[in-house]
A and B are shown apart, each in its own frame.
Chain A
């Protein structure tokens, strides 16, 4: 599992409340990513990070912010959650295997916004 964990694994919250999801890795990878997974849309990149304090937007970044104050943690924040942000959120890291770079994924966080 490339040492990737996500917390919480499940969360139910109400519209308008702030939510922070955490991704933690233990192998000192430089690149980390947040995706959301929705039926009919597949995986869409929200934000990614290429180092401490270095982040960039992905395809669906509106309504989300991220922070990376240390290598091992990449936080995804929904400042004011909306029902359209109900989704499964996956964190990933870019790691290297025998054949080259690939993405390794966390177990996912299921977020429900009521």
Chain B
């Protein structure tokens, strides 16, 4: 079974503080991991994926296969980072994506 766990429903940090959104997964194989973001009143959009190893809007995420984690990090949070963040997993076939329950991030000015 494929499972994506985001333990924090809500997360608040002050502007300029570091932020980490946790994601753990369970998958019998080598999945592809993603972070999607949904800003207020907008559609979900891809933030980053583990294979690209890019930093997008200052966010990074490292796939840790030993801990089966894909935590999203940013060293200095900005107010515009306030949004709902979803961790997602895609298996071998790529036919289905499995999403976590989401973390609502609020950056306090």
B94: nearest residue on chain A (CB-CB)?
A101
- The yes or no answer to A48 lying at the interface (CB within 8 A) is yes
Residue of B nearest to A38 (CB): B101
Whether B51 pairs with A99 at a CB distance below 8 angstroms is: yes
- B102: shortest Cβ distance to chain A, in Å? 4
Which of A43, A50, A99, A108 meets B49, CB within 8 Å?
Answer: A99
Quick check: A105 and B100 within 8 Å, CB to CB? no
- Indicate whether B30 reaches chain A with its CB closer than 8 angstroms: no
- Ranked 4 nearest A-B pairs via Cβ: A42-B101, A43-B99, A105-B44, A42-B102
B interface with A by C-beta (< 8 Å): 6, 9, 32, 34, 36, 43-46, 49, 51-52, 86, 88, 90, 94-102
A contact set with B: CB distance below 8 Å:
1, 31, 33, 35, 40-45, 48, 50, 58, 90, 92, 94, 97, 99-103, 105-108
Given A99-B49, A103-B88, 11 new contacts (CB under 8 A): A1-B43, A33-B97, A42-B6, A42-B101, A43-B44, A43-B86, A43-B99, A43-B102, A99-B52, A101-B94, A102-B46
